[in-house]
């Protein structure tokens, strides 16, 4: 599964480029969104989005339920079925409604957005330019933007762009990221290191003994 935005799950008023990592708004609208091709159902994940566009935009950035369908005509901004998002005009949205404590930040014209997602504990943090909103600390689990048990499910990244100047260049992979992921979190291109089977260690031990004889 590609670690990119999904070219088959993007509104017709938006476009992808740069290997499906750059999302541009081609026509101003309130209902257009893009969803990632990758999905995750467990673990701790980190990614960045370099945003350029209107300051204080109503564009939004977050995650959504991977099993739900996206209705571009009826779901306004962050209002997909089961979504958790930061909106650039200092708001947090869940299922299209204002939720939680305001982040205290209106998005500027050029900023690096950060997302840290802990699916196992139903938590997500948003930040910009290496500062997490509301003194959040993903490494310790403190002050997430959202804590929601219903977030413990298969999720995808999602984004809406409101104005024709709004654009994001996404860094799902560690090599493309500006900042270091919080301790315990991985970029989306990370692969788990699996323990070697017991038989492997038995084989090494036996050969080592034979070599010593």
Quote the number of domains for the chain. Answer: 1
- Give the span between the Cα atoms of 201 and 103, in whole angstroms: 51
For residue 180, with 0-12 CB atoms within 10 Å meaning exposed, 13-18 middle and 19 or more buried, which class applies? exposed
Indicate the pairing of strand 83-87 with strand 91-94. antiparallel
Domain of 161, in residue numbers: 5-212
Q: Residues 6 or more apart from 14 whose CB is under 8 A from it?
A: 23, 24, 25, 26, 32, 33, 34, 161
pLDDT band at 33 (very low <50, low <70, confident <90, very high): confident
Q: How confident is the model at residue 39 (pLDDT cuts 50, 70, 90)?
A: very high
pLDDT digits (tens, 9 = 90+) for 44-81: 999 999 999 999 888 889 998 887 555 433 344 344 55
What confidence score (pLDDT) does residue 77 get?
39
For the stretch 92-116, pLDDT in tens is 888 766 776 778 899 999 999 999 9
Tell me what the mean pLDDT of segment 22-28 comes to. Answer: 92
User: Which comes out higher in pLDDT, residue 99 or 31?
Assistant: 99
Q: Is the pLDDT of residue 213 over 60?
A: no
Q: Specify the pLDDT at position 31.
A: 63
Q: Are strands 60-65 and 155-160 parallel, antiparallel or unpaired?
A: antiparallel
What is the structure's pLDDT at 9? 84
Instruction: Tell me which of 1 and 34 has the higher pLDDT.
Output: 34
What is the reported pTM? 0.84
pLDDT for 72 equals 35
User: Which pLDDT does position 171 carry in this prediction?
Assistant: 97
> What confidence tens digit (pLDDT) does each residue in 156-192 have?
998 988 899 999 999 999 999 999 999 999 999 975 4
Check which CATH number belongs to the domain holding 132 and give it.
2.60.120.920
140-149 pLDDT, tens digit each: 999 999 999 9
pLDDT at 7 over 80: yes
């Amino acid at each position: 599964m590609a670690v990119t935005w999904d070219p088959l799950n993007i509104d017709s008023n938006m476009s992808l480029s740069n290997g499906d990592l750059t999302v541009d708004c081609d026509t101003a609208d309130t209902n257009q969104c893009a969803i990632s091709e990758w999905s995750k159902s467990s673990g701790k994940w980190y990614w960045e989005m370099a945003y350029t566009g209107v300051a204080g935009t109503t564009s939004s950035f977050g995650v959504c339920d991977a099993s739900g369908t996206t209705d571009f005509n009826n779901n306004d901004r962050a209002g997909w079925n089961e979504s958790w998002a930061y909106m650039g005009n200092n708001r947090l949205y869940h299922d299209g409604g204002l939720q939680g404590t305001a982040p205290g930040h209106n998005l500027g014209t050029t900023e690096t957005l950060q997302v840290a997602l802990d699916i196992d504990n139903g938590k997500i943090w948003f930040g910009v330019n290496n500062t997490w909103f509301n003194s959040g600390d993903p490494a310790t689990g403190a002050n997430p933007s959202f804590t929601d048990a219903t977030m413990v499910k298969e999720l995808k990244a999602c984004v809406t762009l409101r104005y024709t100047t709004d654009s994001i260049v996404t860094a799902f992979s560690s090599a493309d990221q500006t900042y270091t992921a919080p301790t315990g979190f991985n970029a989306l291109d990370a692969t788990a290191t699996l323990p070697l089977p017991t038989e492997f260690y038995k084989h090494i031990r036996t050969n080592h003994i034979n070599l010593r004889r």
